[in-house]
Every structure is written in C-alpha cells, then in structure tokens.
C-alpha cells in the first residue's frame, strides 16, 4: 500500500475517534489538528459518512433530549446539546432582541438564569427535582446575537440534594456562574 494511503487511513481513524470524543469541532479546527486543508477534512468526512457540524449537533441534541427525567424538553431554556444524567450537561442559547432591555440593549438576567437553572434541573437523575438554593453571579453584560454556552456539572450528592455548578460562557469568557442545590423529591401519585 502506498504511504499516502496509509497516512489517509490513519487520519480517517483518528478523525473518527476525535469526533466521537468532541463532536462539536468545526472543519477548520479539524484541519488545524491534522495539518491539512479544510477541503481535505470535508472530503474525509464525505468518505466516512460523517455529517457536517450542524447535523452532528442536531443528532447529539436529539440524543440528549431523550435522556431527560426531571423536566420536559420544552422546559429547557436554550438548546440542550449534551446530557449525562447525574453528571453533566451543556446547552446553547442565542440572545434575541426580545430578551434585552429596550433602553440599553443588554440581556435581561432572568433569561441567563433560566438557561442555567433549567440545565441544572435537566442533569438531575430523578423523576422530580426542584431548585433549593441558587447562588449566582453575573459577570459581563451580553447583547443580541451573543451565543451563550452553559455547562453544568454535578459536583456532589448528599441524600436527595444535588450540588450543581453551572458556568455560562460567551466564547472563552465566563459571563455568568451559579451554584445550585437541587432537591430530588418524590413525585405525587
């Protein structure tokens, strides 16, 4: 087998492994990882039957929504794109003009809180959960068009109490963080 074919096979195997681990990498990021052109990555994806980023995101989001226990998918603020019950979750929300104060154009805090709070509820592995305590900090104002990525992590569980930290970022910058105590309760019959 020609050396170029071997390298291509190795790159294909590495590409599949990398996208299984990090499905949200862009073609540009993949090209940079492998030291090849974006077109090469696109051709590799086509050969391997790997969909583009937008389609991969949709597939991962559908899988995450199917795992929800404590709340309904319609109750999650933002788009749930990753969920590991009892451990972690990720949601994405784009700020729209309707979410901002008319005078300043800055996003209203309750929208950002709602994304974090619903994500904290979503990660709880219980049929019913409620917010017991929320300690929040708004760090930087956001505006229409900003795409917020919230990541929740269950850091501890004691009895029916789940301690969940949520950090919301705009790009690399943290704009909001919250520490929640979520309480799992028995559902009413």
pLDDT greater than 70 at residue 185: yes
pLDDT greater than 60 at residue 104: yes
pLDDT at 18: 86
Domain residue limits, the chain: 3-50, 65-184
pLDDT at 58: 64
Highest mean pLDDT (candidates 24-38, 150-164, 174-188): 150-164
Ordered DSSP codes for 86-132: TTEEEEEEE--GGGB-TTT-PBPHHHHHHHHHHHHHHT--SSSEEEE
Domains 3-50 and 65-184 share a fold: no
Rounded distance, CA 75 to CA 10, Å? 43
Domain boundaries 3-50, CATH class: mainly alpha
Task: Please list, in sequence order, all residues whose beta carbon lies within 8 angstroms of the beta carbon of residue 26, skipping any fewer than 6 positions away.
Answer: 53
pLDDT greater than 60 at residue 3: no
pLDDT greater than 70 at residue 5: no
Domain boundaries 65-184, CATH class: alpha beta
Per residue in 106-143, pLDDT (tens digit) is 999 999 999 999 999 999 988 889 999 999 999 999 99
Task: Please list, in sequence order, all residues whose beta carbon lies within 8 angstroms of the beta carbon of residue 127, skipping any fewer than 6 positions away.
Answer: 69, 70, 187
Per residue in 50-100, pLDDT (tens digit) is 878 777 766 665 665 566 666 767 788 998 888 888 999 999 999 999 999
pLDDT at 55: 74
Task: Please list, in sequence order, all residues whose beta carbon lies within 8 angstroms of the beta carbon of residue 72, skipping any fewer than 6 positions away.
Answer: none
């Amino acid at each position: 087998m020609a050396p170029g074919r071997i390298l291509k096979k190795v790159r294909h195997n590495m590409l599949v492994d990398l996208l299984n681990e990090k499905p949200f990498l862009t073609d540009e990021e993949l090209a940079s990882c492998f030291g090849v052109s974006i077109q090469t990555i696109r051709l590799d994806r086509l050969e391997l039957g790997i969909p583009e980023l937008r389609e991969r995101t949709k597939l991962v989001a559908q899988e995450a929504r199917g795992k929800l226990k404590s709340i309904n998918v319609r109750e999650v603020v933002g788009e749930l794109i990753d969920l590991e019950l009892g451990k972690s979750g990720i949601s994405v929300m784009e700020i729209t003009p309707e979410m901002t104060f008319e005078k300043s154009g800055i996003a209203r805090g309750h929208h950002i809180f709602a994304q974090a709070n619903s994500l904290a509820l979503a990660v709880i592995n219980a049929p019913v959960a409620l917010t017991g305590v929320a300690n929040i900090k708004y760090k930087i104002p956001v505006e229409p068009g900003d795409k917020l990525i919230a990541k929740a992590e269950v850091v501890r569980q004691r009895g029916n109490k789940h301690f969940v930290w949520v950090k919301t970022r705009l790009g690399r910058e943290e704009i909001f963080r919250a520490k929640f105590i979520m309480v799992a309760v028995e559902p009413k019959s």
